[in-house]
Amino acid sequence: MTAPRTLAEKVWDRHVVSTSPDGPDLLYIDLHLVHEVTSPQAFDGLRLEGRTVRRPDLTLATMDHNVPTTDRSLPVVDQLSKQQMDTLEANCAEFGIRVFNMRSPQQGIVHMIGPELGVTQPGTTIVCGDSHTATHGAFGALAFGIGTSEIEHVLATQTLVQSRPKTMAIEVAGDLPPGTTAKDLILAIIGQIGVDGGIGHVIEYRGEAIRNLSMEGRMTICNMSIEAGARAGLIAPDETTFGYLKGRPHAPQDADWDAALESWRELVTDEGATFDTVVKFDATKLVPTVTWGTTPDMSVPVNGNVPTPEETDDADQTRRALDYMGLEGGEAVTDLTLDRIFIGSCTNGRITDLRAAASIVDGQHVADGVRAMVVPGSYPVKLQAESEGLHQVFIDAGFEWREPGCSMCLGMNPDILEPGERCASTSNRNFEGRQGKGGRTHLVSPEMAAAAAIAGHFVDVRDWTPAPTQESAK
């Protein structure tokens, strides 16, 4: 009888190729996802050493950060972006890797394509040269963001050297109140534990509120684990997970599906297993959350006020953040007026997010002086939204309806804020200059972003009529 283990430990143990008493382990990697920004030097490294890719069949590439979100039949104007995309395509051709270019019907943000295709599966190890790889943890996978030299190592060997992480449980008791979403929950959790609260840990999100979330909501939660400093985040798979995966192009089929289910059902933290750190969170008190500063833990409830420097632990840091954000401190959040709205990204660019936002803006119009944009996270999401008529709801309300990609989440393409512009964004980072030099980012849920677009300032979406849908929270 083995000692009780956490979910993360079980997945880890299933993948250890070799181990040394005090050193790191060598882990087998089941899926390696690749995008155009962090891969070029890794491929160069392979070429220099005359190596091949060990398992091109377990490697999948997409273009996302640099893709234009305007008409894709036109040439790419930005030469650096074009070069990065051309390089990825050439590297994938040379090394035999499947790649989704910007005209592929499966193209999307790297963290979206895996779940959509069903290659993201419970109990697997997944890596990508991108910090938000933890998104896949929503399926009970152990998913790490890795650096360029590690990308090269995985390409060449299909293994990764990693030291055992510490384990953290975040227990979320109660259910989410109406008008609040997975995004509000993760922002509030990060607000509680801080941007370094998860350092060195793999977080397992547990409890009633997590069990009641849709797969999309769970992905939103796991996606932002890195913003709490964690190495990864995951959630035990259950019927919601299996229901999402069944029938996807790369999900196991027939007898293989039954065998997979049997093995996936073992992927739970054993009774009696201990975590290095346990955090408790009460979901029943959750309020729609808005970041006011320049790190994701600088957030307040929408019915609250921006803090003054004196109210915080680090007055200097707060003063700097307020200054960058063009705030004094003390303002009511609902008094903050917006110039731009961005609905999209690997945090909130999924179909349930777009449905929730569309239900808020349906029949209304974006406020004067506000420029609002919806960027689906992938082509499958875009096509699904169009088949439901959501694009028309957004267009009629005065939103721009764009082609899929990372877009204004980080502004590596032309979608950027002008200096001083204030933006309600459904993405995951509000760092200085993140959405364009001098741009001011407030992170919120899709519902909150949609309502802010119509009102021209933040509003408490719980007061919104018609009543907000809870689609993205369920």
Ligand X SMILES: CC(C)[C@H](C(=O)O)[C@@H](O)C(=O)O
**Structure tokens that stand for 124 in this block:** 């697997």
Applying the rule CB under 6 A, the residues between 411 and 440 that interact with ligand SF4 are 427-428
- 345 interacts with, out of ligand X, ligand SF4, none, CB within 5 to 8 A per kind: ligand SF4
- 167 interacts with, out of ligand X, ligand SF4, none, CB within 5 to 8 A per kind: none
Binding residues for ligand X, how many (CB under 6 A)?
A: 8
319, amino acid identity: R
Asked if 159 contacts 193 with a C-beta cutoff of 8 angstroms, the reply is: no
Nearer to ligand X, 37 or 443 (CB): 37
Here's the x/- map for ligand X, 130-149, by CB under 6 A: it reads as xxx------------x----
- 32 interacts with, out of ligand X, ligand SF4, none, CB within 5 to 8 A per kind: none
Q: Is 33 in the site for ligand X (CB under 6 A)?
A: no
Angle between helices 351-361 and 215-223 (to 10 degrees): 100
Task: Please identify which residue in 8, 29, 33, 37 interacts with ligand X, judged by CB under 6 A.
Answer: 37
Q: Which stretch binds ligand SF4 (CB under 6 A): 4-12, 194-202, 277-285, 405-413?
A: 405-413
Q: Which stretch binds ligand SF4 (CB under 6 A): 45-53, 100-108, 402-410, 460-468?
A: 402-410
Applying the rule CB under 6 A, the residues between 64 and 83 that interact with ligand X are 65
Interatomic CA distance for residues 40 and 36, integer angstroms: 7
Which residues, 6 or more positions from 278, have their beta carbon under 8 angstroms from its beta carbon? 168, 169, 171
- 231 interacts with, out of ligand X, ligand SF4, none, CB within 5 to 8 A per kind: none
Alpha carbon distances (Å) from 4 to 92, 205, 271, 272: 42, 18, 7, 6
Interatomic CA distance for residues 127 and 147, integer angstroms: 10
Asked if 7 contacts 102 with a C-beta cutoff of 8 angstroms, the reply is: no
Nearer to ligand SF4, 273 or 373 (CB): 373
> DSSP states of 313-357 as a string?
S-HHHHHHHHHHHT--S--BGGG-B-SEEEEEHHHH-SHHHHHHH
406 is in an annotated binding site: yes
User: 3-class SS at 67?
Assistant: coil
> DSSP states of 182-201 as a string?
HHHHHHHHHHHH-TTTTTTE
Asked if 356 contacts 363 with a C-beta cutoff of 8 angstroms, the reply is: no
Secondary structure E strands in 196-256 = 201-206, 232-234
- 182 interacts with, out of ligand X, ligand SF4, none, CB within 5 to 8 A per kind: none
Task: Please identify which residue in 6, 38, 84, 407 interacts with ligand X, judged by CB under 6 A.
Answer: 38
Q: Is 109 in the site for ligand SF4 (CB under 6 A)?
A: yes
Nearer to ligand X, 130 or 216 (CB): 130
- 38 interacts with, out of ligand SF4, ligand X, none, CB within 5 to 8 A per kind: ligand X
Here's the x/- map for ligand SF4, 53-72, by CB under 6 A: it reads as -----------xx-------
Interatomic CA distance for residues 215 and 235, integer angstroms: 10
Nearer to ligand X, 228 or 327 (CB): 228
128 is in an annotated binding site: no
Interatomic CA distance for residues 151 and 142, integer angstroms: 16
Q: Is 409 in the site for ligand SF4 (CB under 6 A)?
A: yes
Phi, psi (rounded to 5 degrees) for 287: -125, 150
Q: Which stretch binds ligand SF4 (CB under 6 A): 208-216, 271-279, 391-399, 404-412?
A: 404-412
Percent of residues in the chain assigned helix, strand, coil, to nearest 5: 40, 20, 45
Here's the x/- map for ligand X, 390-429, by CB under 6 A: it reads as --------------------x-------------------
**Structure tokens that stand for 237 in this block:** 């798979």
Task: Please identify which residue in 346, 360, 361, 370 interacts with ligand SF4, judged by CB under 6 A.
Answer: 346
Which residue, 330, 376, 344, 372, is CA-closest to 446? Answer: 344
**Structure tokens that stand for 286 in this block:** 């959750």
Q: Is 232 in the site for ligand X (CB under 6 A)?
A: no
409 is in an annotated binding site: yes
Task: Please identify which residue in 180, 345, 378, 470 interacts with ligand SF4, judged by CB under 6 A.
Answer: 345
Which residue ranges are tagged as binding site for [4Fe-4S] cluster? 346, 406, 409
Residue ranges binding ligand SF4 (CB under 6 A): 64-65, 109, 111, 130, 132, 345-346, 406, 409-410, 427-428
Residue ranges binding ligand X (CB under 6 A): 37-38, 65, 130-132, 145, 410
